[in-house]
Structure 1
């Protein structure tokens, strides 16, 4: 019984420490008229509003949509809480949350049996969540503490699709980006062909076909741009686990400036 009690106590301590870490992401709301986008924001250690900092926007996947302002931290948030990140990259990290009834990207999704098929729109109006995200981006980029030469975006699954979308809508804003298991209409690629980009996908992905990422990669090469492209042959949809473990991902991202 003592051993069980000890294990239970350790689990509580670990759980408490994890929750405390995530609490470093401050809960905020960005309101535009009658609409609101919720987001969590992590400021650097010893943040000084008189200084300028890089800003990274991280876009979550479909499963983390909602309005609780918590689920969007499920994947990726811990990566920016490590001592190595906090000491090496003094940056502001923002996790916006997409509403359940909306989507980051302008894409038509059809489910047939157990498969989902994505048809990405060329151009078109942005979704409500993307429209709010664009305004949120403008707001933070215009702040005195923003280093406008070092603004970044990245995301996974729906957020990977959203990364391509926000890049084509604001190609001059971002210094670099990464997209994990996402996709886009290749006709949009010319809009962000000059943005340094790292594309990831799992070779066994049965949720978002890896061909969607490869098509963007191939089109960018055709346009004269050579993005980084990594496919994990044995990974399924959760290829973000492998991408987050890439030791060069964050150094590569933050090495770029406009």
Structure 2
């Protein structure tokens, strides 16, 4: 009888413990709101009209380049943006034939909020003489990584993309607009974001038959953006692109 009682007690204890540790799957819903302040520079070419009026459809004749900086220029000082990329190129001259929007990401250790960036872009496009078929996307390092994300999230928006030494998830290749031309730049000795990131993406895009150019800087490290954005051919190439 003692043996039977012991077995019964053990069974009841195990059953009790099992019922107490059982998990639950509960459904729920939460409406979230994320707000982000984006300070920015907006460049207007010399022949841009100064009427101050919201343009009609027949007045949208200028292209727009959206430029996203790297992690080193994140913060709260717009002056930092003048040291790299298209803003630096504009200060050194010559002028560019399209508008340039250069927002600043305020957080040094977080990724770009691409939804906030896209909201800013649409606002700038809506209020200026910008041709929706001539909106270009470019970025360096962390900004280049955000460009891939923006192009995936908005596959029918950008006319072309130029990315410099950024992380490039190869699976994104399947989600990009197959008609959007892409120009990639990367140094073979990059110790921050490996050269293999761009190489694998370029190979994937070529295998899919996409319009991709890949400029390889042999023996160069992470900072290849001065060379990339210092090449006038890049801006000529961008200005020649248009969505059908």
Normalised-by-shorter TM-score class: 0.7 to 0.9
Quick check: 1:145 aligned with 2:146? no
Supply the distance in 1 between the matched residues of 2:232 and 2:110 (Cα, whole angstroms).
33
Please, which of 187, 204, 212 is the counterpart of residue 219 of structure 1? 204
Equivalent of 1:92 in 86, 91, 99? 99
The partner residue of 1:165 within 143, 146, 149 is 149
Partner of 1:231: 216
Match of residue 252, structure 1, among 221, 230, 237: 237
Q: Superposed, which structure 2 residues align to 1:44-193 within 5 Å?
A: 44-48=45-49, 49=51, 50=55, 51=59, 52-76=61-85, 77-84=87-94, 86=95, 89-100=96-107, 101-104=109-112, 129-192=113-176, 193=178
Counterpart CA distance in 2 for 1:213 and 1:66 is 27
Deviation of 1:144 after TM superposition, in Å, equals 4.9
Alignment length (residue pairs): 200
Any stretches of 5+ residues in structure 1 without a counterpart? 1-31, 105-128
Deviations 1:183-205 (A, max 9, x none): 22211112223210000000111
TM-score (norm 1): 0.72
CA deviation vs aligned residue, 1:104-141 (integer Å, no higher than 9, x gap): 2xxxxxxxxxxxxxxxxxxxxxxxx2221011122223
Alignment of 1:195-214 (within 5 A): 195-214=180-199
TM-score, scaled relative to structure 2:
0.76
C-alpha separation in 1, matches of 2:188 and 2:210 = 23
Paired residue secondary structure (2:186): strand
Tell me, in whole angstroms, the C-alpha distance in 2 between the residues paired with 1:205 and 1:142.
39
Q: State whether residues 60 and 156 of structure 1, in contact with CA within 8 Å, keep that contact through their aligned partners in structure 2.
A: yes
Structure 2, unaligned runs of 5 or more: 1-32
Distance across 1 between alignment mates of 2:164 and 2:173: 16
Across the aligned residues of Structure 1 and Structure 2, the Cα RMSD in angstroms comes to 1.9
